[in-house]
A = this chain, B = another copy of it.
Amino acid sequence: MDFSSFMTSLGTSFLIFVVLMLIFTWLSRKPANDVVYSPNLIVKGLYSSSRTRNPTSWIKEAISSSEDDIISISGVDTAVYFVFLATALAMLFLAGIVLLPSLLPVSITDHSVRLNSTTSNGTFNELDKFSMGHIGQKSDRLWAYLIAVYWVSLVTYFLLWKAYKHVSEIRAASLMSSEVRAEQFAVLVRDIPPPHEGETRKEQVDSYFNAVYPDTFYRSMVVTNNKEVNKIWEELEAYKKNLVIAETVYAQSKTIVSPEGTRPMNRLGLLGLCGKKVDTIDYCNEKISELIPKLEAEQKKTIRDRQVSSALIFFSSRVAAASAAQSLHARMVDHWTVMDAPEPRQIIWDNLSLNYYAREVRKYIVYIIVALAVLFFMLPISVISAFTTLENLAKLLPFIKPVLAIVSIRTVLGAYLPQLTLIIFLAMLPTLVMFLSKLEGIPSESHAVRSASGKYFYFIVFNAFIGVTLGGTLFGNLKDMEEHPNEIAELLGKGLPDNATFFLTFVALRCFVGYGLELSRLVPLIMFYLKKKYLCKTEAEVKEAWAPGDFRYATRIPADLLILTITLCYSVIAPLILPFGIIYFGLGWLVMRNQALKVYVPSFESYGRMWPHLHTRFLAALVLYQVTMLGYFGVKEFIYTVTLIPLPIISLIFAWVCNKKFYRFFQHPALEVACQELKETPNLKCVYMSFLPPSLSYEMLDVDQCEDV
């Protein structure tokens, strides 16, 4: 990539950013768009339509918001995400203020390579002057770079240690809160052995926990297989929704068409297109009154007969629940496995029926699948590409033959079909990874998100980063190497800074276009207006159309980590990447602060359990960087490279120490935290009820009834 195309790429990215910002400024001033630009405020009931609509006010609000604001509006997980962004920003900033003024002069004033390279056919452009590739072999100037590697590493250790400590405090403060939170009073028990003859599962569970916790055991809820009852409940809900729509339509028709109005009708057949025509309101009412007794019968049957080997146990104190979740209950680990209960809203009920061995086996199978997918990612795509040639397509779908006859379309399709396959596959990847994580038998949504995020991280770091680096370096120069095999080391040394330019534009693109789109919310805005215009008939449906969703950490965090890994790895080789990294995380912090305060509604709260995951991957990026530098200094034939060898070892020791010191508190709440006094005596019945799945708690069937069954 030469200098002009680099500048073009940067300019384009920045231009798109400016345009998106203008769109945002313009659109966000209209009160009608507030459902798109500040849905979280509306959901939380903090919305006031009279607030200032100054174009820069969002920046002021974002900067002035404190961590406590974030925790109270968006939860601990969001606050932890900002700790991560701030740590990455601080690290790159501290690296930048030292590396940029010290390393750039060192490389610009070195002319040794230019002199040596007169024999080679490479042309050094303006950008390469700023990189380490411009330093000659064995040059004493490399000392500056070597010290820089140490500086970046030490800064990272310091900041990560501080951050882990800080997150630990946030987590503790939040767990100590005097609010009653249902999940703090419950534990989840899995792998309950089959009950004895003549004993129900509920009796078995109650007698077991009564014996161990005579004073603090409150009651139990045996988990059931709710597939059947959910089906009926969903059907019932659908009819209720249709009824509301039909009544709205009927009411509107009274004002528009005629005073009596027209009663809405629909057909019963496929997609409402054929079959008998019926009055919708009557039909729905009839169906609803038919389904309610059916649901009740099914609920009773479910609670009686469809019990699985899991249960939720409720305690009368937080400390009892916290202690129970950490203790071994049965002699065999594969019986009575006790763990912290997830929040009711994030329990993955379907996974609770899996037993210990099923979970373990699934876990390892998923790990193997992911490892194979990471390593041989390109393989299935090549296979699919081979099959989706135009000839094959024409055979499979004869009706597109005439289209393919047009030469121009044929050319374009032929050129883009392989890329299209890749894009589709990449777009499916997050879904696939999430599906695999849930397949492991994980009981909570937040854990599944963490697991998916980890898988996705390995995937993109391996394929996007290492793949491109090695590919660009080795495969890109494969022909040269065949001719001059001795030049491999030289090519590698030249190749790494070359890729730096590519990654520089990549970071800029992700930064400007990514955060521009994030802030302007163009896609959700368009989707919302389309849905509102053509699909929504009731208030509830409109609300559903602007529902902002959560942060989607499963893809957001790996994407951030990829940028971090790239910036870190090239920080010393090409320090010019640092300003872009700083802009990425600075802008990211600002934009996401706005989104956290006004847009996204978190769908779960894991009290910062994401942090150890972030910490480990941050450190993994650091180790990758240190190893890369070790290799690169080796290419430069710099004999003092050996002084870098302790760095990866120090990183591993640092990781081990952090893990030892902090990690256990992120697995389980510490008892000194759980034993804090509560504001009020908890209403245990409410705690219990909050865990009842909606299909079982529906309308009737109060708690005493559950008890009797």
Whether A692 sits at the interface, judged by CB under 8 Å, is no
Could you say which of A25-33, A128-136, A614-622, A657-665 contacts chain B? Answer: A657-665
| Given contact pairs A319-B212, A323-B323, A334 touches B661 in the complex (Cβ within 8 A) | yes
Whether A208 sits at the interface, judged by CB under 8 Å, is yes
Whether A270 sits at the interface, judged by CB under 8 Å, is no
Tell whether, in the assembled complex, residue A670 and residue B329 are in contact, meaning their CB atoms are under 8 Å apart.
yes
Write the A629-672 contact mask toward B (1 if CB under 8 angstroms, else 0): 00000000000000000000000000000001111110111111
Chain B, Cβ-Cβ closest to A322: B327
Write the A309-337 contact mask toward B (1 if CB under 8 angstroms, else 0): 00000000001001110111111111010
User: Among B326, B336, B673, which residue has its beta carbon within 8 angstroms of that of A326?
Assistant: B326
| Given contact pairs A212-B675, A215-B215, A323-B324, A660 touches B331 in the complex (Cβ within 8 A) | no
Q: Cβ of A329: which chain B residues have Cβ within 8 Å of it?
A: 670-672
Q: Cβ of A675: which chain B residues have Cβ within 8 Å of it?
A: 211-212
Cα(A72)–Cα(B213), bound, Å:
30
Cα(A211)–Cα(B176), bound, Å:
13
Q: Cβ of A326: which chain B residues have Cβ within 8 Å of it?
A: 326-328
Write the A199-225 contact mask toward B (1 if CB under 8 angstroms, else 0): 000000000100111010000000000
Tell whether, in the assembled complex, residue B671 and residue A331 are in contact, meaning their CB atoms are under 8 Å apart.
no
Whether A74 sits at the interface, judged by CB under 8 Å, is no
A223 to chain B, nearest CB (A): 20
| Given contact pairs A326-B326, A327-B326, A672 touches B319 in the complex (Cβ within 8 A) | no
| Given contact pairs A211-B672, A212-B672, A672-B208, A662 touches B332 in the complex (Cβ within 8 A) | yes
A306 to chain B, nearest CB (A): 26
Q: Cβ of A667: which chain B residues have Cβ within 8 Å of it?
A: 328
Cα(A667)–Cα(B331), bound, Å:
11
A222 to chain B, nearest CB (A): 18
Tell whether, in the assembled complex, residue A331 and residue B212 are in contact, meaning their CB atoms are under 8 Å apart.
no
Q: Cβ of A103: which chain B residues have Cβ within 8 Å of it?
A: none
Q: Cβ of A78: which chain B residues have Cβ within 8 Å of it?
A: none
Copy tally for this chain in the complex stands at 2
Cα(A181)–Cα(B367), bound, Å:
46
Tell whether, in the assembled complex, residue A662 and residue B333 are in contact, meaning their CB atoms are under 8 Å apart.
yes
Cα(A324)–Cα(B319), bound, Å:
11
Chain B, Cβ-Cβ closest to A320: B323
Tell whether, in the assembled complex, residue A672 and residue B172 are in contact, meaning their CB atoms are under 8 Å apart.
no
Chain B, Cβ-Cβ closest to A669: B328
Whether A168 sits at the interface, judged by CB under 8 Å, is yes
User: Among B211, B334, B360, B668, which residue has its beta carbon within 8 angstroms of that of A328?
Assistant: B668
Q: Cβ of A668: which chain B residues have Cβ within 8 Å of it?
A: 327-328
User: Among B323, B332, B334, B660, which residue has its beta carbon within 8 angstroms of that of A327?
Assistant: B323
A594 to chain B, nearest CB (A): 32
A60 to chain B, nearest CB (A): 35
Chain B, Cβ-Cβ closest to A325: B327
Cα(A329)–Cα(B673), bound, Å:
8
Q: Cβ of A213: which chain B residues have Cβ within 8 Å of it?
A: 319
Chain B, Cβ-Cβ closest to A673: B331
A64 to chain B, nearest CB (A): 30
Q: Cβ of A212: which chain B residues have Cβ within 8 Å of it?
A: 319, 671-672, 675
Cα(A323)–Cα(B319), bound, Å:
11
Tell whether, in the assembled complex, residue A168 and residue B322 are in contact, meaning their CB atoms are under 8 Å apart.
no
Write the A66-88 contact mask toward B (1 if CB under 8 angstroms, else 0): 00000000000000000000000
Tell whether, in the assembled complex, residue A331 and residue B211 are in contact, meaning their CB atoms are under 8 Å apart.
no
Write the A498-535 contact mask toward B (1 if CB under 8 angstroms, else 0): 00000000000000000000000000000000000000
Q: Cβ of A672: which chain B residues have Cβ within 8 Å of it?
A: 208, 211-212, 329-331, 336
Of residues A322, A324, A661, A670, which shows the largest number of chain B Cβ atoms within 10 Å of its Cβ? A670
Cα(A672)–Cα(B211), bound, Å:
8
Tell whether, in the assembled complex, residue B664 and residue A328 are in contact, meaning their CB atoms are under 8 Å apart.
yes
A140 to chain B, nearest CB (A): 37
A393 to chain B, nearest CB (A): 45
User: Among B322, B328, B360, which residue has its beta carbon within 8 angstroms of that of A665?
Assistant: B328
Chain B, Cβ-Cβ closest to A659: B333
Q: Cβ of A673: which chain B residues have Cβ within 8 Å of it?
A: 331
Chain B, Cβ-Cβ closest to A677: B211
Write the A671-687 contact mask toward B (1 if CB under 8 angstroms, else 0): 11101000000000000
Residue ranges of A at the interface with B (Cβ–Cβ < 8 Å): 168, 172, 208, 211-213, 215, 319, 322-324, 326-334, 336, 360, 660-665, 667-673, 675
28 contacts between A and B (CB under 8 A): A168-B331, A168-B332, A172-B331, A211-B672, A211-B675, A212-B672, A212-B675, A213-B319, A322-B327, A323-B324, A326-B326, A326-B328, A327-B327, A327-B668, A327-B671, A328-B667, A328-B668, A328-B669, A329-B670, A329-B671, A329-B672, A331-B665, A332-B662, A332-B665, A333-B660, A333-B661, A333-B664, A334-B660
4 more A-B residue pairs beyond the given contacts A213-B319, A332-B662, with a C-beta to C-beta distance below 8 A: A172-B331, A322-B327, A327-B327, A329-B671
